[in-house]
Amino acid sequence: MSLDEIKTRIAEAEQAAGRAPGSVKLIAVSKVQPLERVEAVLEQGQRVFGENRVQEAAGKWPDFKDRFPGVELHLIGPLQSNKARQAIGLFDAIHSVDRPKLAKALARLAQEEGHCPELFIQVNTGEEPQKAGVLPEDTDALVADCRALDLPLRGLMCIPPVGEEPSLHFALLAKLAARNGLEGLSMGMSGDFETAIAQGATHVRVGSAIFGERSDAVSA
Ligand SMILES: *Cc1c(COP(=O)(O)O)cnc(C)c1O
């Protein structure tokens, strides 16, 4: 599917949900994609991209950023504290804050670096043991921690369990965000972004529907 088709579907979903045109940000998830495919999407004008590994992003994005002004990069994969400084230097947004220790590290490093990416707390809405994210019941406390640290917290993010109805997870995320006064909702991927938009997504993370299947099928 082309970038234009995805953008059209997003616009239609915004309209169907009675939401303002342009209220949903498309993050093109370029992880593991061949450089020429990423470049083709940059050539078509897309500037907002998502990567799930700091190291991989560090390898390809400095060069693309030089060549394509206005790139905005989002980290959507787990972040280890020892990579936090590098992540602050590279990313405009981090969607995977999921523990107080990481929030503290980001606050300290942001102070040193003089800037901080926009942050989302990842919530493990399916309570899956192998998956990153704070549990729903611990979300309010982590929001409070981030606020006490003066971090620029924008919203919440989730990745619904494979094989479950995503709308239940999107609804839970929206409820947690609303009760914490957070406006940002990072939810929806290639298979379910229209459902997510209907439920209030402000950021959708779309990879394979734009770029094609990832050859090694690496996922979150
Ligand atoms: C890979 C990934 C996506 C994109 O998945 P697609 O199904 O290819 O659209 C979205 N969010 C996260 C966190 C990912 O790791």
User: Are residues 132 and 110 in contact, defined by beta-carbon separation less than 8 angstroms?
Assistant: no
Residue 220 — pLDDT band, cuts 50, 70, 90? very low
Residues 59-107 have pLDDT tens digits of 999 999 999 999 999 999 999 999 999 999 999 999 999 999 999 999 9
CA 160 to ligand 1 center in whole angstroms: 11
Beta bridge partners of 157: 122, 186
pLDDT at 192 over 80: yes
Amino acid 216: pLDDT: 57
Ligand 1 atom 4: the closest Cα is on which residue? 207
Give which of 23, 21, 28 is closest to 6, Cα–Cα.
Answer: 28
Amino acid 217: pLDDT: 53
Residues 17-63 have pLDDT tens digits of 999 999 999 999 999 999 999 999 999 999 999 999 999 999 999 99
Tokens describing residue 190:
């290639």
- Taking the C-alpha atoms of residue 118 and residue 155, their distance in angstroms, rounded to an integer, is 9
| CA of 191, closest atom in ligand 1 | 7
Ligand 1 atom 15: the closest Cα is on which residue? 220
- Taking the C-alpha atoms of residue 158 and residue 188, their distance in angstroms, rounded to an integer, is 8
Q: Which domains occur in the chain, in start order?
A: 3-209 (3.20.20.10)
Q: Which helix (H) or strand (E) holds 26?
A: strand 25-29
Ligand 1 atom 13: the closest Cα is on which residue? 76
Handedness of CA 5, 160, 79, 184 (dihedral sign): positive
CA 176 to ligand 1 center in whole angstroms: 22
3-state DSSP helix/strand/coil percent for the chain, to nearest 5?
45, 15, 40
**From the CB of 166, is ligand 1 less than 6 Å away?**
no
User: Are residues 98 and 128 in contact, defined by beta-carbon separation less than 8 angstroms?
Assistant: no
- Taking the C-alpha atoms of residue 28 and residue 50, their distance in angstroms, rounded to an integer, is 6
**From the CB of 78, is ligand 1 less than 6 Å away?**
no
